[in-house]
């Protein structure tokens, strides 16, 4: 890594794990092989492993696609005006490719119009890394000249990094929860919404670093509370989990066949509407045994009455 000492390369991931925010930009001095060796293998830091630089023709530069911005994310506002229009006018001459199949927990925040990742992120310990596939100056792009996009992104990123401590206690359903407890020698439980208690055990981690509790069992929105095993939670270790808005991106009504295939059995499907209450009552009546049981009891009662009359008849 020309220009970077081995001490700096080793210390940088530790800085991020301890809560630091890091923005990595590309440029002519960036070597994909060198960066992968230093920051994707030996000291995992980059969201994804780097591939070769993609160079666009001079008359057909690459363009960012603001509508591809990940939501929810701290850059979600770039899908809206005025950020969307000014960002889509940015011209990118060169951009590093990334291997989206490489492990590491990376996430694409925004793509180019060619669907190539442009902005990617990765959480590491208590910190976070933002990788920009193009340069942060005017050597590969005219992005710095588009203040409405360039400065806005830097401001949103800095605000996100500064507020990272608070953001650690706000998650989206399905995301991983990580909490560093004050006492790493005791076992802990996780109280999920609805009062369900999940045993997490003793905090774990890499030697020499802060030990943490981690779980990905967060399917529902609500408050998740960390507590000592078998005890009630205190005011510490409370995480707010909000619903995943991506679940409602597609609101098209499923067909009966699609619902049956998804569930694995044929359900009773009733469309919401003014007649849905009557339809539900009708379907429930078809499947309840109450009426038939009452009819059976009535028949037994009538039979006993007839038998009593027959037995008590004077012959």
**DSSP calls for 213-257:** EEE----S-EEEEEEETTS---SSSEEEEE--GGGGS--PPPPHH
Contact 56, 93 (CB under 8 A): yes
Provide the pLDDT confidence category of residue 13 given band limits of 50, 70 and 90. Answer: confident
Summarize the confidence of residues 194-218 as an average pLDDT.
83
Contact 7, 113 (CB under 8 A): no
Reduced 3-state DSSP string for 247-289: HHCCCCCCCHHHHHHHHCCCCCCCCCCCCHHHHHHHHHHHHCC
d(CA 263, CA 259): 6
Q: Which two tokens stand for residue 304?
A: 């006993």
How many CB atoms sit inside 10 A of residue 65's CB?
A: 20
Give tens-digit pLDDT for 241-250. 888 877 777 7
More confident residue, 51 or 256: 51
Provide the pLDDT confidence category of residue 209 given band limits of 50, 70 and 90. Answer: low
Q: Which two tokens stand for residue 187?
A: 């076992």
Provide the pLDDT confidence category of residue 87 given band limits of 50, 70 and 90. Answer: very high
In Å, how far from its chain's centre is CA 41? 25
3-state secondary structure of 168: coil
pTM: predicted TM-score of the whole model, two decimal places = 0.54
3-state secondary structure of 174: coil
Q: Which two tokens stand for residue 65?
A: 């696609």
Q: Are strands 222-228 and 197-201 parallel, antiparallel or unpaired?
A: unpaired
- What secondary structure letter does DSSP report for 175? S
Give the contacts of 205 (CB within 8 A, at least 6 positions apart).
211, 212
Give tens-digit pLDDT for 18-52. 788 999 999 998 989 988 888 887 678 899 999 99
Planar angle of CA 221, 223, 226, nearest 5 degrees: 130
d(CA 78, CA 68): 9
* Mean pLDDT estimate for the chain: 86
More confident residue, 64 or 166: 64
Planar angle of CA 103, 152, 138, nearest 5 degrees: 80
Could you give the domains of the chain?
6-167 (3.40.50.880), 170-245 (2.60.40), 252-291 (no CATH)
pLDDT for position 192: 92
**What are the phi and psi torsion angles at 170 (to 5°)?**
-140, 120
**What are the phi and psi torsion angles at 184 (to 5°)?**
-90, 10
Q: Are strands 127-135 and 21-26 parallel, antiparallel or unpaired?
A: parallel
pLDDT for position 142: 94
3-state secondary structure of 219: coil
d(CA 14, CA 21): 11
- What secondary structure letter does DSSP report for 92? B
3-state secondary structure of 63: coil
């Amino acid at each position: 890594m020309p220009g970077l000492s081995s001490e700096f390369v080793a210390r940088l991931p530790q800085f991020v794990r301890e809560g630091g925010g890091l923005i990595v930009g590309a440029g002519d001095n960036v070597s994909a092989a060198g960066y992968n060796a230093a920051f994707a293998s030996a000291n995992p830091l980059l969201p994804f492993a780097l591939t070769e630089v993609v160079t666009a023709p001079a008359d057909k530069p690459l363009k960012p696609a603001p509508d591809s911005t990940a939501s929810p994310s701290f850059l979600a506002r770039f899908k809206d005006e005025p950020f969307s229009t000014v960002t889509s006018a940015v011209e990118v001459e060169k951009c590093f490719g990334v291997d989206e199949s490489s492990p590491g927990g990376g996430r694409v925040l925004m793509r180019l119009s060619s669907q190539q990742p442009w902005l990617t992120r990765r959480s590491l310990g208590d910190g976070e890394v933002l990788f920009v596939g193009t340069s942060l100056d005017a050597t590969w792009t005219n992005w710095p000249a588009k203040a409405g996009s360039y400065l806005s992104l830097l401001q949103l990123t800095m605000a996100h990094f500064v507020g990272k401590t608070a953001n650690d206690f706000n998650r989206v359903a399905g995301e991983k929860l990580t909490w560093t407890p004050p006492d790493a020698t005791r076992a802990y439980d996780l109280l999920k919404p609805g009062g369900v208690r999940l045993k997490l055990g003793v905090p774990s981690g890499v030697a020499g670093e802060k030990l943490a509790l981690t779980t990905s069992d967060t399917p529902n929105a609500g408050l998740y509370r960390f507590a000592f095993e078998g005890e009630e939670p205190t005011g510490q270790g409370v995480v707010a989990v909000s619903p995943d808005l991506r679940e409602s991106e597609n609101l098209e009504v499923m067909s009966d066949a699609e619902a049956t295939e998804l569930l694995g059995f044929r359900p009773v499907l009733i469309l919401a509407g003014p007649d849905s209450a009557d339809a539900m009552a009708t379907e429930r009546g078809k499947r309840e045994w109450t009426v038939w049981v009452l009819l059976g009891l009535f028949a037994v009662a009538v039979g006993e009455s007839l038998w009593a009359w027959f037995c008590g008849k004077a012959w």
